[in-house]
Structure formats: structure tokens, C-alpha cells
Structure 1
């Protein structure tokens, strides 16, 4: 047995996309959490930050299921969402309604804004990422005190980190620093923050330089993945955290190793306001997963 896949990437955050729609629905029954570590291995597999599975649903155009490279549940991924949108429009032939396409995710039904499309090709997608969740039980994080959680101290490897905690449907711990993010030992500190007991569902960890009110620079350690080139939900969490701490404008460029994302949030007076993310979506290549990669060992 072999299974077709499409390799996609958004700002360098890369995925295998599996079509389990319609007559391919049986593919959802495979044990993708067990298969993901082999398939996503960059030396012995195809190599990816995770797997996106397109499934049928009654509440949106399709459902996007995310399996991280370690087999854990990704819940939500902004970069993956843009690539998933591109696939539904260009390969499946879905048509936006009033310029938008609704997609079910682990964070709820989100809208992909395609109103600026001028051809059948989707190069950039503006995503309504929904609201930011700021209560401790929503992130979740073990924290005493009122929301928003602007200052949560965590000590790892003999260093203290003043974290701002935000959920975008998945947990984020954001650290603002004057230390150049390019020089920060993220491979050492990232897994310690991710698995800290204050985060019962683990957490993504973003480190941020404020270059200007309209320009932030970040790197990310993604929960269940490790260091990645970009994280869309992380970039959204970073802007929300920066706005809450008075460090950024409502619309900001967030620079990541894989490229720039445009993030907008004007929710200081209305915390339920949506966060918007705009960025690229690219198809890399088509391939087949053969029996060797589809066997669980």
C-alpha cells in the first residue's frame, strides 16, 4: 500500500498534507500519531514539522487535523492553515463563499480570507485566527493572579524567564528580551520551558526582540516539534503579548527565520477581537508514502 501526499510549507514551516476527504476517508483510520515520528524524520523519512490531514465535516468546508512530528496533537497551526486553504482551493476545487473559506480546526471553525484573490492561484492567505485566550485555565498555565498573565516567572537552567502567557487555541509562553534571539540557546532552553510543570499541556516558547513598534523579531520552540522556521499561531500570540505590554502597534510585521508574517490585533478594549495573520503558502512537491514508512515499529 502507498498513500499520496503533498509537501507544503508556509514561511518555512513544512508539512505533509494527506487527503482523507470523500472516498479517501478511510485514511483517517490510520494511526497517524504513531506514524508521524517516522514519516517526519528528516533523515529516514520525508521530513516535516508535522502532518496535516484533510477530513470531511458538517460544520465547515473541511476539517484540518494536525499531528506534530512527535505524534502529539497540534491543535492549531497558522502556517499549516494557510497551506491547507491553498490545497482546498487549488487541488480540491472548493470555492470561497463571500470571499472566505471556513475550516474546522482544533481551535474551532476559522475563516480564511481570500477576497483579494485575482486568479485561481492562492499565494497569500489572510486568516481570522479567532480570539486570544488570556485566562490561566484557558492557556493553560498554573498561575495565581488576574488575567491577562503579563508576568509569569519560570526558572530553568539557572535562569529566570518573565513570560507572558497566551492561547491561540494552543498554549504560548512569550519572552521579550534585549538578547539577540539569533544568539539565544533555544535548543537548550526551549524543551525545558515546553515541559515545565507550570504548563499542564506543555507549551510553545517564543523569544522576541522588539525592533520597533511595527516590527518584531522572533524564534520559536514548538511544542511537540522543536525549533521551526516559523509558527503562525506563535506570531499571533507574540503580537497579542506585545500589545498587552505596550510594546507594539495594532498591526505589526513579525520576522521569523522562514520569512515575515503580518499580524493584526486591536483587542486592548475588546479582548474577544480576532487576531489576523497574513502570510505565504507554497506547494513543494507531490510524493507517495510507501509501505516501509507506513509500518509502525
Structure 2
């Protein structure tokens, strides 16, 4: 079957096209494919299948490099949108995922805008193990009387995100703290962990420890979650640039319908075929 190795601002994405010959993946198969030495190598795998919803152009299963299956991936969704738009010679498509339907449009050469839908802010739906105000939850890292991190915001964009606000994202302990929070008992389905620095009302610097992938160069849903968490704390405006390690995303949390719109670049690295079972 056909595959494309792509990236969304450095977030390595594999698009595997199984629409003509559907395949069933499992964790071990995904882990093998994720190996850069033996497989394709990626942070996330987007498996294209025939749509279930008549309103959609394609159905996408989403897998992390560690073999865990997830419901959302912002950078991967932009890559899938670009791939299907090119195939269909169209400027817009609808992607069906476990999290719902995502409308995407081309807004320039290799630039895609995706409607990520409404953020989920209720503690039970994110989900969390305890009732908490998700604007600022009761969680801290370090000594009780002098924590190094505390009071993160929690948002789901189809996948859970815990966002710490820090003075300097470059100095944030992403690799030390990220795995600890990812597996914290408060998050029964694990969580992505963001470290967000408010540079200006319209500019956030963000680094993300991704659930199942670790520290990556970009996280689209993480950028969406960071802006939503910041707006809820009145730290930034509803439209802002979110600077990740791989580049810049433009995020808008629209007041008109409560939807989050993510815009950013994608790049095609290579294409080929792979044997499927």
C-alpha cells in the first residue's frame, strides 16, 4: 500500500493509505513501523481508511510511536488533509477521526487550516480521576512550600493536555517532568504535558511532552490546548501565534462557535509503498 512520510513543523508523521486494502494494526506492528532503523520512523501514524460518515472524505486511525491508539493529532490531521486534497484536486476536505469530523482548507502553498472543534473543559470528559476546576488544577511538582511547577490548566482537544505556565520555556524541565505527569494518577488515559511561556498577548512559546511520543518538535493539539488554557486564565488573546520547536502555528479560539482553528505548514519528505497484511 502507499505511504507518505511527512512532517508538520518537524513533528514526524507517517500517512499510510489503506483505503483500497484495509489493514488491522496492533501495538507491536505500529512500534515496528515507528523504528527509524527498521521501519518508516515517525512520531505519529495516520492510517487512512474508507469513511464511515457520508459527510467525510476519509477516515483516519491515529497511532503514537509507542503503539498506543489516540483520537486526535493536530499536525497529523494537517498532513492527511494536504495528502487527500492533492489526490482529489480540491482546496477543502473533511477528515473523520475517533474524536469527530474535522474540516480542513488550504490557505496557501503547503499551509493547511483545520477546524479542531470545541475544546473539552469538563474534568470528567477530559478525563480526570478527580473533580477539579480545570482552569487551574491542584497539582504541583517539587517541594510543597516551594514547587518548581504548579497549578496547570487542563484541556482536551480530543486528547488530554496538562498545560503548565512557565517563565522560560527553554529552561522548562520538559524531559524530566513530562513523563512523570504523563502517567500521573490524575489522568487515567495519560496526558500530554505542555510548558507554555506567555511572550505577549498574541504570542506563546510552547514545548510539549507528547503522550506516547515524548518530546517532539511540534504538537498541534498541544498548541490549541495552550491557547485555550491561556485565554481561560486571561493571559492572552483568543488569536495568537504559538511558537513550537519546529516553527509557528496560528491558533484561534473563535467566540462565534467556540471552535479552535489551527493553521500551519506541512512538508512532504518521501513517498513509497509498503507491504501490508
Instruction: Please confirm whether the aligned pair reaches a TM-score higher than 0.5, indicating the same fold.
Output: yes
Deviations 1:219-278 (A, max 9, x none): 0000111101000011000000000000111110000000000000134xx7x6100010
Superposed structure 1 runs of 4+ greater than 6 Å apart: none
Q: Superposition pairs for residues 4-23 of structure 1, below 5 Å?
A: 4-21=2-19, 23=20
Identify if the C-alpha distance between structure 1 residues 42 and 162 changes in structure 2 by more than 3 Å, giving closer, same or farther.
farther
Partner Cα distance (1:209, 1:155) in 2: 17
Partner Cα distance (1:290, 1:273) in 2: 42
Displacement of 1:166 in angstroms is 0.4
Partner Cα distance (2:124, 2:187) in 1: 10
Q: Superposition pairs for residues 1-297 of structure 1, below 5 Å?
A: 3-21=1-19, 23-25=20-22, 28-29=23-24, 31-59=25-53, 60-90=56-86, 92-93=87-88, 95-96=90-91, 100-114=92-106, 116=107, 123-145=110-132, 147=133, 149-156=134-141, 158=143, 159=147, 160-178=149-167, 180-267=168-255, 273-289=258-274
Normalised by the length of structure 2, the TM-score is 0.91
CA RMSD of the aligned region, Å? Answer: 1.9
Partner Cα distance (1:215, 1:24) in 2: 44
Partner Cα distance (1:155, 1:248) in 2: 23
- For residue 152 of structure 1, give the secondary structure of its aligned residue in structure 2: coil
Any gaps of 5 or more consecutive residues in structure 2? none
Partner Cα distance (1:112, 1:213) in 2: 26
Normalised by the length of structure 1, the TM-score is 0.85
Deviations 1:75-129 (A, max 9, x none): 1011000110111011x32535xxx311101210110023x45xxxx51011111
